[in-house]
Amino acid sequence: MSGPLVVVGDALLDIDLEGTADRLTPDAPVPVLENLVEHARPGGAGLAALMAVRDGHDVVLVTALGDDESGARLERLLAGAGVTVLRLPYDGPTSVKQRVRAAGQSLLRLDTGSQPGRVLDVPAVVAEAVGGAGAVLVADYGRGVAAVPRLREVLASLPRRVPVVWDPHPRGSDPVPGMRLVTPNRGEAEQFARRVDASVPEDGSMLARARRHADCLVARWQAQAVAVTLGSRGALLSYGQGAPVVTPAPSVHCVDPCGAGDRFAVSAALALRDGRVTTEAIAEAVVRAAGYVAAGGPASLTDHVSGPRAGRLSAEELVAGVSANGGTVVATGGCFDLLHAGHVATLRAARQLGDCLVVCLNSDASVTRLKGPSRPLVPAADRARVLEALEFVDAVVVFEQDTPAEVLKRIRPHVWAKGGDYAGTDVPEAAVLEEWGGQAVVLPYLQGRSTSRLVQSAAERAAGHDVNTATDKEIMR
């Protein structure tokens, strides 16, 4: 629906001090950091707002900032990124979290302004902004904004057509009754459920426990649904009864998961605003959260807070993030015109070779030149969408040329996986991979599976003829 995403919650100032650590101090076994560089970005509800505005959406942030330099700096960062900031009158300090880091790893965190103050009033402009939202995300970081009675009244009065997603915090407030979706992580869900009912059984598998916690919280919070995020395992969605919906996460290389929960909640809220049903919104949120951590987590945002940027995470961004964190980028390619079991087996095997898989997909014109005027059977946009729906495919790049050489030079994967009958022969793209030290490999394929054979079989069945059983080694095409 129309209207901006309104983020309501506690904004923080996050600062990363990045340095190099090549030696220990002589007086203690601790690293010496040199060449320190400071990176500041919005945190908490501010991070959620930044993510949404970078996706190309209109975003309003309702938050409480201290009357101090940290608050002014945080507001400048948000405004510079394109977020409309509505400040609540507040008598406390701005919360600042500083992480000291080296080689992508956190060594120490220093927190200031941890003791929250009081929100003194809710101006009419804030109530009007929430009332005009296309969707609302409550990013509760336990500092009191989500507990303000007047704000809770405004949220409770929103029409049901306006989706409200509540991302809770153990030190925060219970969600307002009637929320469309509440998104605790697994540990938070367990804490909340134990507070509600200490007799909730804790035996059984991880999914069984998460389902019981989610069911308990749907009833407690009177929420329409609760999605428990499970980290690398995806998310479990409960409506309070019946079998839960579990959405697995793509397997990605992750060094810094900070902010993954915000990415999940933001993506779910935006998908619900755009008319997706809850299960679709969760599927979108799981994929976006995985892409975020694969791209480096908060590091992927640090250099982009000066302005909004629309669109999904591109293949180039995904590859850059995985490579920067020491991961292995795998690519494969083909026409994938009618996806079949041979494709699936090869794609799954390719993904197991590294930390992300990029599929280089022949455009419609390219397929026609290679296969003849009757192909493709499925247009490139639909072929890409089907491939992106596979949990082991992280990105798809459509190319216009007859070979993927140019796109390979652009994304520079570490591994090029070729499906089909190339064992013991020269892989056409091998020379291109050698330019940057990459390696071309051949993967086994399922004998007898090919798009050409499927088309032939369908035509012969339609004509009432026996199916030709001749083999076709054209697996990846």
The strand pair at 226-229 and 235-238 is best described as antiparallel
Residue 59 covered by a domain: yes
Percent of the chain past pLDDT 70, that is, above it, reads 87
User: Mean pLDDT lowest for which of 27-36, 89-98, 112-121, 149-158?
Assistant: 27-36
Q: Give the range with max mean pLDDT: 92-106, 134-148, 301-315.
A: 134-148
Q: Which of 167, 262, 364, 394 is catalytic?
A: 262
User: Same domain, yes or no, for 204 and 337?
Assistant: no
H helices present in 389-463, as ranges: 405-411, 430-434, 451-462
For residues 266 and 356, state if they share a domain: no
pLDDT reported for residue 441:
85
Residue 25 CA to its chain's centroid (Å): 39
Specify the number of domains making up the chain: 2
pLDDT tens per residue across span 271-295: 999 999 999 999 999 988 988 887 7
For the question of residue 262 being annotated catalytic, the response is yes
Q: 297 is in which domain, residue-wise?
A: 5-302
DSSP state of 227: E
- The reported pTM is 0.67
First to last CA, the chain: 40
Q: Are 116 and 233 members of one domain?
A: yes
Cα separation, 346 vs 339, in Å, equals 11
CATH number of the domain within which 427 lies: 3.40.50.620
217 and 271 part of one domain = yes
Clarify whether residues 274 and 328 are in a common domain: no
The 10s digit of each residue's pLDDT in 368-403 is 998 888 888 888 888 888 898 887 888 999 999 989
Does 189 score more than 80 pLDDT?
yes
In a domain, 468, yes or no: no
Instruction: Check residue 425 and give its pLDDT.
Output: 61
Q: Are residues 254 and 320 in the same domain?
A: no
Q: Are 297 and 164 within one domain?
A: yes
CA dihedral 313, 318, 321, 324 (to 10 degrees): -160
Does residue 200 belong to any structural domain of this protein?
yes
Shared domain check, 319 and 285: no
Has residue 469 got a pLDDT over 50?
no
**Which of 302, 337, 372 is at the close of a domain?**
302
Which of 254, 280, 302 is the endpoint of a domain? 302
Q: Is residue 472 part of a domain?
A: no
Establish if 173 belongs to a structural domain: yes
Q: How far apart are CA 206 and CA 274, in angstroms?
A: 32
**Considering 302, 326, 358, which residue would you say is the last residue of a domain?**
302
Judge if 257 and 338 occupy the same domain: no
Instruction: Please tell me whether residues 331 and 296 are part of one structural domain.
Output: no
Helix (H) or strand (E) holding 299, with range, is helix 299-302
Q: What is the pLDDT of residues 58-108, one digit of tens each?
A: 999 999 999 999 999 999 999 998 999 999 999 999 999 999 988 777 889
